[in-house]
Chains A and B, each alone.
Chain A
């Protein structure tokens, strides 16, 4: 009964808004519309609507999936200082990180779905009526951990928000263990996704032990970059109180993660170029191109440039404190990791193919349309959740019978 009322109120929160908000929603819906047009064509003609072929059998969709798994784990960068170290400025906004994780996970699952040749047979991966190849298949593991991580985040978020709406603090016995559990889970979704590639001896570019650590390092850059920008937008548009130190702490942690990421990249480059075996060819394809096949080269160097510049901007206290340079850094880091962890990971893994053929892949218009649609869905999920969460955090969206908010106290960080 009370929950129904909460839902009704939530719908009201989401549908009410000014002109800019309505335009934003309209944009997201238009993106989803484009995605639907693209996907309906793919549904009719098959995956030939993409530019994937037998030589490059995974590409743009799977690249986006991989990148977004990284974004999903970003919440951990807030959870650790927030809950483990009880650092209040961050604890107050942890829930936003979890919302971002939910949005990213919904996109991850959609990107896998659109990449499937037979989405109608999705049930084959369930224990009933299907036959999951567990524990041998990493994809069956990935399906398990991604859904589990989604459930963990959803349950915490719903609990905290509902309690906040009722004017009550969250139940520590429930939230703390689940949130702590989400830390190894976040590492888990990364490791499993990395192992999905890592375990394939047929693809030397992926068959490197450094892959999983690199996944983790770059993930702690990309997701928080979104968070830094989101925090500032919310402060401006909703007046939500987010302390400067919280944002700067996130940026500082990102600098360390990016340093580690660049170090691992260097280690990989040294090994490939110095030993110069036949496996060098994939790294060469990414950084130099092979003959006249150079589709990825400009992206590779841009990604490196973006990552290095962002690292410096976040490392130096002066530029970290300056909002302009901080935001430039956030955008650069996001772009850099998007290239490196998306197409930069998937495509060189398959170019040249296992018989030495070089098929230069570029996403088709149709693939772009589908991807735009999925990002639209992710944006809508995030917008919706944030629009319910923020008024609860501010104490403006409350149950009629809830006690009035106490100044300086929020549902997210009770005294």
Chain B
């Protein structure tokens, strides 16, 4: 048994009915005044946004210019030196992920390492790219008997097992084909990415994803300055604006630099495996050779690059 501290998952509650009480109205008014002020000093950014084209249509110079502008904006905003890279996929690499269900203890350390690494909004809205489902041993993998809202003193709990779910980086992603503006696509290294500055927030992709992997910024993300991770990538963990969808990218800012995703690194029981599917000696290939893997919701033929297995 591992003590897992207090790491609750907060369910964003519905807005309070009678949303326009005087106090809330005043808050909204104050907020709007602040927003107006903010947008006034960012008018050049707004203009840039209106002028820009789809990422794939940008020239190298335009891309560099855009990254430099973002670095400056966030360096000013977060009061620390922020870098924004646009790391390309590495030729000959196709990422694969393995998750050992018999080892996972449901401690949710991956969830929080992910939030920290990837600059998710902390609260209102609370955004987490990994959802750990507690399941009943009596039912096996059965979503009708699963909950992400377990909160005991210690995990794992008797009679239960845990199934973390995040973006499965499908080979046939249902999410990218529904996007009306080509704001999301699959990269040659297998990672499904979103251009957060191109997304229109229609949420077709969240409706189409069978894994609940895509999260929407229902409000302006709240990322405290001191908690902001300044080493960012444009398609990875850079701060996101309000009103766009975001998701797990296998920490492409790390994995494309030869590092493990944050969730793999933090896992205290070694339940998470990661590597290059095209490299016969990689960790993930070893798992596939020695164990028997399966994919989640295989009937939908999404063909995930995320494999589950039972090591023991």
Partners in one complex: yes
CA distance A36 to B212 in the complex (A): 32
Residue interface mask B33-46, A partner, CB < 8 A = 1: 00100000000000
Contact B200 A57 (CB under 8 A): no
Count CB-based A-B contacts (< 8 Å): 184
Chain A's closest residue to B300 (CB) is A201
Contact B211 A355 (CB under 8 A): yes
Residue interface mask A316-358, B partner, CB < 8 A = 1: 0000000000000000000000000000000001101111110
Say yes or no for A47: interface residue by CB 8 A criterion.
Answer: yes
State whether A201 and B210 are in contact (beta carbons under 8 Å apart), knowing that A117-B201, A137-B204 are contacts in the complex. Answer: yes
Residue among A55, A130, A202 with the most chain B CB within 10 A? Answer: A202
State whether A356 and B216 are in contact (beta carbons under 8 Å apart), knowing that A118-B201, A366-B15 are contacts in the complex. Answer: no
Segment among A8-16, A120-128, A145-153, A184-192 that sits at the interface with chain B: A120-128
Contact A57 B208 (CB under 8 A): no
Contact A200 B17 (CB under 8 A): no
Say yes or no for B215: interface residue by CB 8 A criterion.
Answer: yes
CA distance A116 to B203 in the complex (A): 8
Contact partner, A54, options B133, B204, B216, Cβ 8 Å: B216
Chain B's closest residue to A356 (CB) is B143
CA distance A392 to B215 in the complex (A): 52
> Within the complex, what minimum Cβ distance (angstroms) separates A155 from chain B?
25
State whether A354 and B209 are in contact (beta carbons under 8 Å apart), knowing that A364-B14, A364-B19 are contacts in the complex. Answer: yes
Contact B14 A362 (CB under 8 A): yes
Contact partner, A116, options B125, B144, B201, Cβ 8 Å: B201
Contact A133 B243 (CB under 8 A): no
Say yes or no for A302: interface residue by CB 8 A criterion.
Answer: no
State whether A49 and B19 are in contact (beta carbons under 8 Å apart), knowing that A118-B199, A125-B181, A355-B165 are contacts in the complex. Answer: yes
State whether A365 and B180 are in contact (beta carbons under 8 Å apart), knowing that A117-B201, A117-B242 are contacts in the complex. Answer: no
CA distance A121 to B220 in the complex (A): 16
By DSSP majority rule, is chain A's interface helix, strand, loop, or mixed? loop
Contact B207 A200 (CB under 8 A): yes
Say yes or no for B62: interface residue by CB 8 A criterion.
Answer: no
Give every chain A residue within 8 A of B215 (Cβ-Cβ): 54
State whether A50 and B15 are in contact (beta carbons under 8 Å apart), knowing that A58-B207, A124-B181, A124-B198 are contacts in the complex. Answer: yes
Contact B200 A116 (CB under 8 A): yes
Chain A's closest residue to B46 (CB) is A120
By DSSP majority rule, is chain B's interface helix, strand, loop, or mixed? loop
> Within the complex, what minimum Cβ distance (angstroms) separates A64 from chain B?
15
Say yes or no for A143: interface residue by CB 8 A criterion.
Answer: yes
Contact A137 B300 (CB under 8 A): no
Contact A48 B182 (CB under 8 A): no
Residue interface mask A34-69, B partner, CB < 8 A = 1: 000100110011111111111101100000000000
Chain A's closest residue to B56 (CB) is A131
Contact A131 B201 (CB under 8 A): no
Residue interface mask B211-249, A partner, CB < 8 A = 1: 110111111100000000000000000000111110000
Contact A46 B218 (CB under 8 A): yes
Chain B's closest residue to A112 (CB) is B202
Give every chain A residue within 8 A of B133 (Cβ-Cβ): 355-356
Contact B180 A57 (CB under 8 A): no
> Within the complex, what minimum Cβ distance (angstroms) separates B258 from chain A?
32
State whether A352 and B143 are in contact (beta carbons under 8 Å apart), knowing that A53-B12, A118-B200 are contacts in the complex. Answer: yes
Say yes or no for A199: interface residue by CB 8 A criterion.
Answer: yes
> Within the complex, what minimum Cβ distance (angstroms) separates A265 from chain B?
23
Chain A's closest residue to B206 (CB) is A57
> Within the complex, what minimum Cβ distance (angstroms) separates B213 from chain A?
9
Say yes or no for A232: interface residue by CB 8 A criterion.
Answer: no
Contact A44 B19 (CB under 8 A): no
State whether A58 and B203 are in contact (beta carbons under 8 Å apart), knowing that A51-B15, A140-B180 are contacts in the complex. Answer: yes
Give every chain A residue within 8 A of B125 (Cβ-Cβ): 48
Segment among B171-179, B267-275, B287-295 that sits at the interface with chain A: B171-179
Give every chain B residue within 8 A of A102 (Cβ-Cβ): none
Give every chain A residue within 8 A of B207 (Cβ-Cβ): 57-58, 200, 202-203, 349-350
Give every chain B residue within 8 A of A400 (Cβ-Cβ): none
Chain B residues 157-195 with CB under 8 Å of chain A are 165, 174, 177-183
Say yes or no for A18: interface residue by CB 8 A criterion.
Answer: no
Give every chain B residue within 8 A of A140 (Cβ-Cβ): 180-181
Say yes or no for B148: interface residue by CB 8 A criterion.
Answer: yes
Contact B179 A117 (CB under 8 A): no
Give every chain B residue within 8 A of A57 (Cβ-Cβ): 203, 206-207, 216
> Within the complex, what minimum Cβ distance (angstroms) separates B116 from chain A?
20
Contact A130 B181 (CB under 8 A): yes
Contact A117 B216 (CB under 8 A): yes
Give every chain B residue within 8 A of A350 (Cβ-Cβ): 207
Give every chain B residue within 8 A of A53 (Cβ-Cβ): 12, 14, 218
Residue interface mask A362-388, B partner, CB < 8 A = 1: 101110000000000000000000000
Contact A132 B180 (CB under 8 A): yes
Residue among B14, B208, B220 with the most chain A CB within 10 A? Answer: B14
CA distance A57 to B12 in the complex (A): 13
Residue among B17, B131, B145, B216 with the most chain A CB within 10 A? Answer: B216
Chain A interface residues toward B at CB < 8 A = 37, 40-41, 44-55, 57-58, 112, 115-125, 129-133, 136-140, 143, 196, 199-203, 278, 281, 349-350, 352-357, 359, 361-362, 364-366
| 7 closest residue pairs by CB, A with B | A117-B201, A117-B243, A356-B143, A202-B210, A139-B180, A48-B219, A48-B218
Q: A201-B174, A355-B165 are in contact. List 11 more A-B contacts (CB 8 A).
A: A46-B242, A54-B214, A57-B203, A58-B203, A117-B201, A129-B53, A139-B180, A196-B204, A200-B207, A355-B146, A355-B212
Chain B interface residues toward A at CB < 8 A = 11-12, 14-15, 17-20, 28, 31-32, 35, 49-50, 53-54, 56-57, 124-125, 131, 133, 143-148, 165, 174, 177-183, 198-204, 206-212, 214-220, 241-245, 300
A–B Cβ pairs within 8 angstroms, 13 of them:
A44-B32, A46-B242, A47-B201, A48-B15, A48-B219, A115-B202, A121-B49, A130-B54, A132-B182, A137-B178, A137-B179, A352-B144, A364-B14
